[in-house]
Chains A and B, each alone.
Chain A
Amino acid sequence: MNPVGIDIPRADGPSKVRGDAQYVDDIRPAGCLYGATVRSPIAHGKLLGIQKDPDFDWSDITVVTCLDIPAQNVVLLMTEDQPALADGVVRHVEEPVALVAASSPARARAAVAHIKVLVEALPAVLDPLTAQNNPIQIFGTDNVFKQISIHKGDKTDDGVIVEGTYTVGHQEQLYIEPQGMIAVPRADDGLTLIGSMQCPFYIVKAIAPMLGHGRINVIQATTGGGFGGKEEYPSMLAAHCALLSIKTGAPVKMIYQRDEDLRATTKRHPSVIKIRSVVSPQGELLQWDAEIIMDGGAYNTLTPVVLSRALLHLCGPYRCPRQHLEGVAVATHTPPNGAFRGFGAPQAMYAVERHMDAIARTIGMDPVAFRRLNLIRDGDTTPTGQALVDTGAHLVLDVALKAAEAEVKTPAIHPGGGVGRYARGRGVALVFHGCGFTGNGEARIKGKVAVELQDRCVQILTASTDIGQGVDTTFPQIAAAALGIGVSRVSNAPHDTAMVPDSGPTVASPTCMVVGGVLRTAALKLKAALQAETGLDTDDFDTLLDARTHTMALRVMAEYQDDGSMDWDDATYSGDAYPCYGWACSVVDLDVDLDTGEVLYRRYVSATDVGKAINPVIVEGQLEGGAIQGLGYATCEEVVLDDQGRMINDRLTNYIIPTTLDAPEMITRIIEIPYSGGPFGAKGIGEIPMDGPAPAVASAIEAAVGVVLNRLPMTPERVLSALEIKERS
């Protein structure tokens, strides 16, 4: 049976349900010490040093500062701006200043509590709207990480003009397993790093300049969720564990506590988006001008890439002859923001879909009919001039609306019970999501995959990690299908950078689509190698194995091949922005509690184009998990900062994510519009489910109670105050 397209149970299922799977905190090397971090108490200041409490017993404590760094004080990513430990200046609250190691986590934390950071406060820039060209410099001369403009067509004012401003806050990834890492000294004076992460090779590249050598290998432990939050931040932990391990000569483990993880690690970029559009009286979009200001925080991280993706989605899945998009990502004295599922698109799609509702409201058209009229179709161009094929906007819209005709079966769980105090509404949002890296990203990264024949089984060697999204299951499915063998004979090798080739980072959800494609090529190469070895030209894998005269392992490697079909110009931001696009429609039914302003979800329907579902249950799980993060983004997940930019609701009691009682019943429809460049047609699907929920919820609230909310999250307080304003007027 062809193993692609069926529900093979997850390879890692048994070990996870038994509690055997080894996450980083379950691993305890002999003689392990425990690390903790001393952090900046203020947003911006001159760092004068640290002061150890003379009354504390320091005899068993090791302290590390930037003076202990062997080579360059940098955690390298896109730029060299972020130090491993602050030196002379602190640029955001909670910035790492020093490290301690002790024999237990409690001892390490006690030591941290007895170290005072000596700082002289300097004026800080916390508001992204005043950051650009502010005389207080954070990054470069103008505090700009990246600026992009995209223009298509001329300008017109001939029509109905609608303007709007949309504001979105931070969002925390909130993987249930906090960040964690272990450094273990190697016999050759190098280090092995074991941790919770998405991208093992990022860590190798990030900390080699700090160590001054490349004698490092990085191993992914079973990882308890990432969602982008374990893309770049684990490099910081790796740097810190490495420094402590070098100084103590012992293995060192660092596991963040939840409050520290919330305060210190990266979040989704807050943004302010302005849109001005011109439509004909019949409702055709004539012009779409949009601008986004994105808050990157104090260091660059991956912000330029996030801005790029936001901007490329700031037009929505709609046709329009004139599109003018401007984006700027600025630096502020706040903890750096970084990768998070959706990578800028959720911010953009919220603004776009809210604005589409605003236009429909202004011209008195039904919001769905207005969208339908303007859907992007085959042959239409995106703002970068890419002519689209195989568009699926109308299909996902039809399928989702049809599925939503079914009666809502489960009643919402109303805390007060009963009806009468609730208003009911439905909202629809339509989104698209560029799959893979922007432009020539794939060609630049040149992901590699190896497959190795061992006996009669095949091992896949790749750096694409399983962070819960299931590649340890879907990759064997892809390879088994290419080889024509049972999936039980194929497995993913452990993700150790010493053993596997660099397949590119597990980010932007290209794993299945792009790396899976390279894997398929590698599997076919293995078969060809066996055919050459045996002189047979059969396709039957077992016949080939039987014809071998020995059982030596056989390894082949494949690398991403640029087929030249992508025409992209990074300098002008024009051409084919993504190899293909996915399409999705969300229909949400909800009740608004008129007394408290609380939004109670009743049902969430989605229809999503995934290209090809390699494993439908895993795909559904991705779509539903992304949906709930989107619903949390919509109404309950709010990061509140104090006057130093410190997150003050740093607990799960006050940073609220949806529970089983908040989560609605879901109807999840999978649509397959195959992508010719993906393995068996598969597209990236990890991110798109994050895009639709928030605007659909905003639309449903508007339908229920007639208030227009253009700020995320739409918390009970915001809904209630909008209701009060509406009542007064």
Chain B
Amino acid sequence: MTQFSLNGHTTSVDAPPMTRLIDVLREQLRLTGTKEGCGEGECGACTVLIDGLPVNACMIPVVQAEGTQILTVEGLAEDERLHPIQTAFINYGAAQCGICTPGFVVAAKALLDAQPNPSRTEVREALAGNLCRCTGYQKIIDAVVEALGGQP
């Protein structure tokens, strides 16, 4: 049994220790907001926060999550109220096909918590582990800069 806090709720799962965290989230817990784009730590579609830091859930064996606090995209909105990053993504058209979006908003959340007023360059650096093939990144960066209180 592995135990962790998932989006604020204590959760235990029964999975072999080397099971990828992404499979536990998606297949066992049916939280499918975390996406798989490559399965090898390159695209960031599977980004979740472990103790506030962005990680690729496809690269983490579940055993490493023991005792941690995990945040997935499903834990961002409070009830019906979207997180400001999510609202900004909608307003700026930063989600097109949307497959990369959960990873981006989660990574942006980590940046927001660590650095309330980042420059555009800092936003670019913080999101460099997340690939998007649809937007050209401009609208994503605009959305994140705005959500974090800056001027896009």
Closest B residue, CB atoms, query A621: B93
* Closest chain A residue to B99, Cβ basis: A224
**Which of B31, B95, B99, B132: most chain A CB closer than 10 A?**
B99
Whether A624 and B36, one on each chain, are in contact in the complex, defined by CB atoms closer than 8 angstroms, is: no
Number of CB contacts from chain A to chain B under 8 A: 177
Please tell me if B39 contacts chain A, counting CB pairs below 8 Å: yes
Chain A contacts of B26 at CB under 8 A?
25-26
Encode A109-150 as 1/0 by CB contact (under 8 A) with B.
Answer: 000000000000000000000000000000000000000000
CB-CB contacts below 8 Å: A239-270 with B: 257-258
Chain A contacts for B95, CB-based, 8 A: 10, 12-13, 16-17
Indicate whether B115 reaches chain A with its CB closer than 8 angstroms: no
Asked if A59 is at the interface of the complex by the 8 Å CB criterion, the answer is no
Partner of A177, one of B86, B97, B128: B97
Binding stretch for chain B, among A46-54, A295-303, A399-407, A656-664 = A656-664
Q: What chain B residues lie within 8 Å of A20 (beta carbons)?
A: 33
Bitwise, B129-151 to A at CB < 8 A (1) or not (0) is 11111111111110000000000
Assess the B74–A18 pair: CB atoms within 8 A.
yes
What 0/1 readout, one digit per residue, does chain A (473-494) give for beta carbons within 8 Å of chain B? 0000000000000000000000
- A413 close to B (CB within 8 Å): yes
User: Which among A17, A22, A621, A661 has the greatest number of chain B C-beta atoms within 10 A?
Assistant: A17
Interface flags for B89-100 (1: CB within 8 Å of A; 0: not) read: 111110111111
Which partner residue on chain B sits nearest A27 by CB separation? Answer: B32
Number of interface residues of B (CB under 8 A): 56
Choose among A9, A19, A26, A621 the residue that contacts B96 (Cβ–Cβ < 8 A): A621
Q: Is residue B113 within 8 Å, beta carbon to beta carbon, of the partner chain?
A: no
| Contact B131 A657, beta carbon cutoff 8 Å | yes
The residue on B at minimum CB distance from A604 is: B136
Which chain A positions have C-beta within 8 A of B141? 660
B93 touches A176 (CB 8 A): no
Residues of B within 8 A of A652 (CB): 38, 40, 42-43, 131
| Chain B, range 93-135, C-beta contacts under 8 Å to A | 93, 95-102, 105, 120-121, 123-125, 127-135
Q: How far apart sit A659 and B90, CA to CA, in the bound complex (Å)? A: 21
Closest CB in chain B relative to A354 CB, distance in Å: 23
Task: Give chain B residues whose Cβ lies under 8 Å from the Cβ of A23.
Answer: 32, 35, 99
Q: Is the CB of B99 within 8 A of A225?
A: yes
Chain A CB within 8 A of B13 CB: no
**Contact B128–A258 (Cβ < 8 Å):** no
Question: Which secondary structure dominates where chain B touches chain A?
Answer: loop
Do the beta carbons of B40 and A657 come within 8 Å of each other? no
- Do B124 and A258 touch across chains, with their CB atoms under 8 A apart? no
Contact between chains at B133 and A660 (CB < 8 Å): no
Any B CB within 8 A of the CB of A629: yes
A257: nearest chain-B partner, CB-CB: B39
Q: Are B82 and A663 in contact (CB under 8 A)?
A: no
Q: Are B138 and A666 in contact (CB under 8 A)?
A: yes
Complex Cα spacing A15 to B100, Å: 13
Does A617 belong to the interface (CB within 8 Å)? yes
Instruction: Output the nearest chain A residue to B36 by Cβ-Cβ distance.
Output: A25
A456 CA to B88 CA in the complex, in Å? 31
- Chain A residues closer than 8 Å to B124, beta-carbon distance: 413, 660-661, 663
In the bound complex, do residue B136 and residue A628 qualify as a contact, i.e. CB atoms below 8 Å apart? yes
Whether, in the assembled complex, A467 has its beta carbon less than 8 Å from a beta carbon of chain B, the answer is yes
Contact B139 A620 (CB under 8 A): yes
A246: shortest Cβ distance to chain B, in Å? 26
CB–CB B133/A625 < 8 A:
yes
Question: Which residues in A have their C-beta under 8 angstroms from that of B91?
Answer: 9
| B40, A651: Cβ atoms closer than 8 Å | yes
- Measured in the bound complex, the distance between the Cα atoms of B86 and A624 in whole Å is 21
Set of chain A residues within 8 Å of B99, measured between Cβ atoms: 23, 175-177, 224-225
Query: Which of A13, A20, A653 lies at the interface centre, i.e. has the most chain B CB atoms within 10 A of its CB?
Result: A13
A284 within 8 A of B: no
Which residues of B have CB within 8 Å of A226?
97
* Contact yes or no, A468 B97, CB < 8 A: yes
10 closest residue pairs by CB, A with B: A19-B33, A468-B97, A224-B99, A16-B98, A624-B136, A652-B42, A19-B73, A13-B90, A468-B96, A26-B32
16 CB < 8 A contacts A-B: A7-B93, A13-B90, A17-B102, A19-B101, A176-B97, A176-B132, A177-B97, A222-B98, A224-B97, A468-B134, A618-B93, A624-B139, A625-B133, A628-B137, A663-B137, A666-B138
- Given contacts A13-B90, A660-B130, A665-B138, 18 further A-B pairs with CB under 8 A are A9-B90, A12-B95, A14-B86, A17-B98, A18-B73, A18-B82, A19-B102, A176-B37, A178-B37, A225-B96, A258-B38, A410-B121, A620-B93, A621-B139, A625-B134, A628-B137, A659-B129, A660-B127
